[in-house]
Amino acid sequence: MGDAGYGISVANTIQLTSANAAEPIEILDTTLRDGAQGEGISFSVQDKLAIARSLDELGVTWIEAGNPGSNPKDMEFFRLAETLDLKRSRLCAFGSTRKKGLSPAEDPFLKALLDASASAVVIFGKSWDLHVTEVLGVSLDENIAMIAETIQFLKDKGKTVLYDAEHFFDGWNANPDYALQTLRAAAESGADRLVLCDTNGGNFPETIAEGILAAKAFGNLGIHAHNDMDMASACSVAAVRAGCRHVQGTLLGFGERCGNAALAAIIPSLELKLNRACLPPGNLERLSEVSRRIAEIANVLAPDRMPYIGSHAFSHKAGMHADAILKIRHSFEHIDPSLVGNDRRFLMSEVGGRSAIAERAKKIDPAITKDHPVIADIAAKLKTLEAGGWQFESADGSFELLARRALGKYKPLFKIDAYRVVSEHPGDNAISCCYAWVKVWVDGKQEIAAAEGEGPVNALDRALRKALTPFFSNFDIEKVRLSDFKVRVIDGKDATAAKVRVLIESTDGVHTWSTVGVSEDIIEASRAALVDSIEYKLISVIERRFKGLF
């Protein structure tokens, strides 16, 4: 899967990260704990189990799975965790140092940690003197005792202990001597890792590096960075370069406020740029797939512009850029996308060149070159359609159908003969209703179906798929669902008579594709995008099963 046009290929990456590699980096993913604190993120117990399996498949060293003393959901997760049969990752339970006035044995939260089915625990304690006196309300000496006694207690019970020095860098900036005293107490009590936390996300990478260097004498260090200045990844990499061998974050950057350090960006940077292995050999190529799967479980979209794994990470729109990429592949791409399981995308638009169009067309007909007359025809068609409000750079499914028609590689699979959509709103206290009926023809046979929906587009979508299912029962069209729906007014001066552009993103749970429709009628624009979405799905299945049918 490597590409000789890059300085980095799969072959030499494997070589770099094995025999010639520097010391590997441990990865702790806290999606299930810190990530769940992000706004809009909520996991069921089954979600948490599915994410843990996915992270284990990716091969992270540690999975911080939750705080069993804080809520019943996490307690239930740890009860069921034994069924996970993890192959590569170890689970960690999360909690705090003992409460003031209690011995560790008396603290119910520490008892919950011991009862959890995890051989490792992550314990956080205070490093910032301000938090010790003003938040915990204890003396500086008592905080030291809380750290030391808690870690010693857990070590005596046979647990691996990762100590999170909360607000370490803020504490080190304010009172460096005391911040280092807290680390010394944790190290002397047997902590297996000392993780320095930029909890507020307010420090620059050089400050992080200075703090790491100041703490290196205390043992095996880690970094836990937050993204409040959009520097969590940079701070994490700076920490590794300063001596950390353990990195914490969440795969997609989920987390409180602006989020945690995004491991999907950090891991490939460490592996491919700094020669520091983070995952088992060969697993980096699973990064995009696993990241998108976890986003799906979380019921959110993976960030399009996320480095390495985002759908925009290797997208090219300008014609000159596309032409350069095809000649010298590393000229506008810093790595081969296949190294992280991603793909190059050429965005189809009026500013794109023939090289980009030809590259996309080759997926349909490998014999096509940029000098083929049909490429000029497609380019002209694109410009005409985009002048009328269509947009294909984010509608890969619709563009493929357009290209297939131009290349003679298109066979209509169904035809809508007529359709009707009705929205009823009887009165203030009555229940509103939307329903649709549709008449379709497939291979000379007619089918009529009707359905209700949560709105007119949903009703039309259900009716159309209901009508097509008898003809395409083994094509999984019932699994297709809309994952995103966007409407854009093209020219506002026409007010409610303006053309609208409807962009639909669809998924079958494995693949994702986008389609577009344009009309003065929002329902008609939606119909056009829906038809393209279903046709794209059907053609994709046929192409996978019966090569060359089209």
Identity of the amino acid at 46: Q
In this prediction, residue 379 carries a pLDDT of 81
In this prediction, residue 215 carries a pLDDT of 97
Task: Say whether 223 sits in a helix, a strand or coil.
Answer: strand
Cα atoms in the Cβ-side hemisphere of radius 13 Å centred on 288: 22
- What does the chain come to in residues? 550
Q: Does domain 24-297 have CATH number 3.40.50.300?
A: no
DSSP string, 228-291: TTS-HHHHHHHHHHHT--EEEEBTT---STT-B-BHHHHHHIIIIIS----SSTTGGGGHHHHH
Tens-place pLDDT, residues 309-345: 887 776 766 555 445 555 555 556 778 888 998 876 6
Tens-place pLDDT, residues 166-212: 999 999 999 999 999 999 999 999 999 999 999 999 999 999 999 99
In this prediction, residue 11 carries a pLDDT of 39
Predicted confidence band of residue 16 (pLDDT cuts 50, 70, 90): very low
Mean pLDDT, rounded, of the chain = 87
Tens-place pLDDT, residues 398-416: 989 998 999 888 888 999 9
Q: What six digits make up the tokens of 206?
A: 């050089």
Mean per-residue pLDDT, 287-291: 92
The more confidently predicted of residues 59 and 543 is 59
Instruction: Specify whether the CB–CB gap between 266 and 246 falls below 8 A.
Output: no
Q: What is the pTM of this model?
A: 0.68
Q: What six digits make up the tokens of 162?
A: 């990762």
Phi and psi at residue 184, to the nearest 5°: -60, -40
Mean per-residue pLDDT, 281-307: 88
Tens-place pLDDT, residues 452-500: 988 899 899 999 999 999 999 888 888 888 888 888 887 766 676 788 8
In this prediction, residue 354 carries a pLDDT of 67
Phi and psi at residue 343, to the nearest 5°: -130, 150
Kindly tell me if the per-residue pLDDT of 428 is higher than 80. no
User: What are the residues whose beta carbons fall under 8 Å from the beta carbon of 228, sequence distance 6 or more?
Assistant: 200, 201, 202, 257, 258
Residue spans in the chain of domains classed CATH 3.20.20.70: 24-297
In this prediction, residue 494 carries a pLDDT of 67
CA 22, CA 196: separation in Å to the nearest integer?
22
Q: Which 3-state string (H, E, C) describes 488-528?
A: EECCHHHHHHCCEEEEEEEECCCCEEEEEEEECCHHHHHHH
Identity of the amino acid at 63: I
